[in-house]
Amino acid sequence: METDGLLEGIRDRRIPALAKAISLVENGRDGYELLLSELHPMVGNAHRIGLTGPPGAGKSTLAERLIQGYRARGKTVAVVAVDPTSPFSGGALLGDRIRMESVTLDPGVYIRSMAARGAVGGLATTTTEVCDVLDAFGFDRIIIETVGVGQSELTIAASADTSVLVLVPESGDGIQVLKAGVMEIADVFVVNKADRPGAERLVQEVDVMLGLRSGNAYRQIRPHHSVREMNGVQHSEEQSEGWLPATLMTVATEGSGIDELIEALDAHHAHLSDSGELHERRRARLERHTRDVVDRSLSTLVWQRGQGEQILESGLERVVTGDVSPYRLAQEIVAGALEGGDDIEG
Amino acid sequence: METDGLLEGIRDRRIPALAKAISLVENGRDGYELLLSELHPMVGNAHRIGLTGPPGAGKSTLAERLIQGYRARGKTVAVVAVDPTSPFSGGALLGDRIRMESVTLDPGVYIRSMAARGAVGGLATTTTEVCDVLDAFGFDRIIIETVGVGQSELTIAASADTSVLVLVPESGDGIQVLKAGVMEIADVFVVNKADRPGAERLVQEVDVMLGLRSGNAYRQIRPHHSVREMNGVQHSEEQSEGWLPATLMTVATEGSGIDELIEALDAHHAHLSDSGELHERRRARLERHTRDVVDRSLSTLVWQRGQGEQILESGLERVVTGDVSPYRLAQEIVAGALEGGDDIEG
């Protein structure tokens, strides 16, 4: 069995076992669900941080700086760099860039790139599972870096405890694009490359947008210099319960603003923990994940273990000619899968 | 039965029957798959055109102009305006805007808005099915307008015969964002609002990008004035087989460039038809759709007809505490569904 010794290896925090376990999970090889099942009781201690934003926003450099900052604070860090787009995107993912950097020699740091494979749902589910392995291994922080700001990135980012949206002054015109969806799920906004013209204006735009979203004019006039000013104190009665998204400025290449970002991330985690929302998010994530595993099992049952592919192949021509509908053919495929689906162990 | 008379109504090209059929499909009400099954032999004559691009690119105005252009040529046109994002996007969808315009009084035009519901895959599948209804009804052209340029828009656009990516000079800086994914699936590129500064430069950028993509320096120096210059003649041996994406400039508000766009769309359709690719795309779409219907049937089997929700609800707490893994609970849910899954009619 390929999984022999992996559970023990991860318990003993051996990196080769970790790497092997992640490959097993990523490629869905025999026994991967069993391994994940055994790791499950060890999962739940890492702070998972999603880094989302348009290409060129400096996410990878920011991730490097976060690694350094966390290491200086004695925390171990794993990075999962995910590219849900095609090979054409020319990925400047951290995992690809950093191989030869000194940080990879530090046993308290682990970096892994994941490419797109199969369906969007598939990649998000697998990303969660890779994070579970890293979590079980004992990393204190897991940074999930994604390329782009589409639906699949949102789905992936939504699995993090804290979502960071990274923008740059140049993305000002594109803020319309970001408006839909991304804004709603971010807990912390970072305007990176903040030494460039337009950074202040972008911070204001983001705040106006957030203000519009919550219908709260206050947000548009608050200062942006310290997270603690915003989140350490209560601002008004109706806000005392919720998290007020932080907007920060960084220059990742120079390392400026990183301490403040780490403070913001810690503050958000403390907020989640104190308010009980961490438990709620974890519960929601596990529910979502169980649903995804069910859908994946059914899909495997039909398309890999069942006769699905054969029935589809032999029936498709009749669908193309119009003699048989896709619905009729789908019925045959489902019926075929259920007949042969007695052994669903896995 | 809610479907009574719908098939006949669509055969007789009655608009109330069409509207009712689309609602039935959109909401997945009883009998919708049976109706789609019966309509299947009538599907396959419409030219499906996807309109994708960032918010503010003028897609809706462009769609209006296309409607006018097609009507002037005696063609009937349906528009399906899809918003896969959340309510926050504040959709400026054609369907929402145009209700009171004169074009809606023309029986040769039908416009329908679709909001996001459920999963991404769900919306794409349902959009295909709504297009199938419109196709069976007999519309000559079906324009599928989406908001945004994310993964879900790509999935939806990929179901069209011809994909149009609409850009504006202002999106120049954001072209990086568009690079990943969208560029690859577009057959026609439109730089709208081409009377604004930067239009020529954007056309050049798009061409450079397309040139880089195909590794073909020729593309960077060709003229942009007529589609026929590009696609009516053979350019070189290795290109004679494929479609050379057209890059066009329009000012939709003034109606300029629309005739050229319609020519480009017709040229692409002729190319697809002549090369046999139309048949291949249709076949691929039907295969994809059959797979989607299978997955949807299985999901329905578990979550709506089966005991999935109850088993999940009663078992989730043990997953949260770590006593039971998501994989074990998922197994119980699948097993429960298969036991009770004898009657999968529908």
Low-confidence ranges of chain B (pLDDT < 50): 86-92, 99-100, 102, 118-121, 177, 212-240, 342-346
Determine whether A74 is exposed, middle or buried from the number of CB atoms within 10 Å of its CB (0-12, 13-18, 19+).
exposed
pLDDT of residue B203: 87
Instruction: State the DSSP string of B178-199.
Output: HHTTHHHH-SEEEE-STTSTTH
Separation of alpha carbons B160 and B168, rounded Å: 22
The contacts of residue B99 (CB under 8 Å, 6+ apart) are: none
Which residues of chain B does A344 touch, with a Cβ-Cβ cutoff of 8 Å?
Answer: 331, 334-335, 338
A118 interfaces chain B, CB cutoff of 8 Å: no
Which residues of chain A does B30 touch, with a Cβ-Cβ cutoff of 8 Å?
Answer: none
- Write down the residue that tokens 């390929």 correspond to: A2
What are the Cα distances from residue B33, in Å, to B3, B22, B28, B294, B298? Answer: 10, 12, 8, 12, 14
**Which of A119, A298, A320 lies nearest to residue B286, judging by beta carbons?**
A320
The contacts of residue A195 (CB under 8 Å, 6+ apart) are: A251, A254
Rounded (5°) CA angle A310-A312-A315 = 105
Question: Which domains does chain A show, CATH number per domain?
Answer: 1-42 (no CATH), 45-277 (3.40.50.300)
Is this complex scored with an ipTM above 0.90?
A: no
What are the Cα distances from residue A172, in Å, to A167, A256, A341? Answer: 8, 21, 53
pLDDT of residue A109: 93
A176 interfaces chain B, CB cutoff of 8 Å: yes
Chain A residue closest in CA terms to B136: A322
Do A299 and B298 count as a contact with CB atoms less than 8 A apart? yes
Considering chain B, what percentage of its residues have pLDDT values greater than 90?
49
Chain A residue closest in CA terms to B322: A41
Please report, as a single letter, which amino acid is at residue A312: L
The two beta strands, B77-83 and A188-191, are unpaired
Determine whether A96 is exposed, middle or buried from the number of CB atoms within 10 Å of its CB (0-12, 13-18, 19+).
middle
DSSP B343: -
Long-range contacts of B234-240 (CB under 8 A, 24+ apart): none
Q: Mutation test of the interface with chain A: which of B126, B177, B324, B339, choosing the one with the most A Cβ atoms within 10 A?
A: B177
A343 interfaces chain B, CB cutoff of 8 Å: no
Q: What is the pTM of this model?
A: 0.72
Contact present, A133 and A21 (Cβ < 8 Å): yes
A185 interfaces chain B, CB cutoff of 8 Å: no
A293 interfaces chain B, CB cutoff of 8 Å: yes
The contacts of residue A345 (CB under 8 Å, 6+ apart) are: B331
Please report, as a single letter, which amino acid is at residue B99: R
H/E run at residue B83: strand B77-83
Distance (Å) from the alpha carbon of B113 to chain A's nearest alpha carbon: 17
B311 interfaces chain A, CB cutoff of 8 Å: no
Q: Mutation test of the interface with chain B: which of A30, A325, A328, A342, choosing the one with the most B Cβ atoms within 10 A?
A: A325
Q: b/e map of A193-229 (b: 16 or more CB within 10 Å)?
A: bbeeebbeebbeebbebbbbeeeeeebeeeebeebee
pLDDT of residue B94: 54
Give me the torsion for CA of A138, A143, A146, A149, rounded to 10°. 130
Separation of alpha carbons B261 and B248, rounded Å: 7
pLDDT of residue A1: 64
Total Cβ atoms within 10 A of residue B277? 17
pLDDT of residue A328: 96
Backbone angles phi, psi at A181, to 5 degrees: 95, -60
Chain B residue closest in CA terms to A32: B327
Alpha helices in B199-325 (DSSP H): 199-214, 227-231, 258-275, 277-300, 308-321
Compute mean pLDDT per 10 residues along chain A, 346 residues long, and list them: 86 94 90 95 95 84 94 95 56 50 75 66 84 97 82 74 89 54 78 92 81 44 39 38 86 95 97 94 92 89 84 95 95 83 44
For the beta sheet containing A47-52, the strands, ordered from the edge strand earlier in sequence to the opposite edge, are A109-115, A77-83, A141-146, A47-52, A162-167, A188-191, A246-249
What are the Cα distances from residue A70, in Å, to A19, A276, A327, B3? Answer: 22, 24, 54, 61
Q: Of how many residues is chain A composed?
A: 346
Separation of alpha carbons B210 and B183, rounded Å: 8
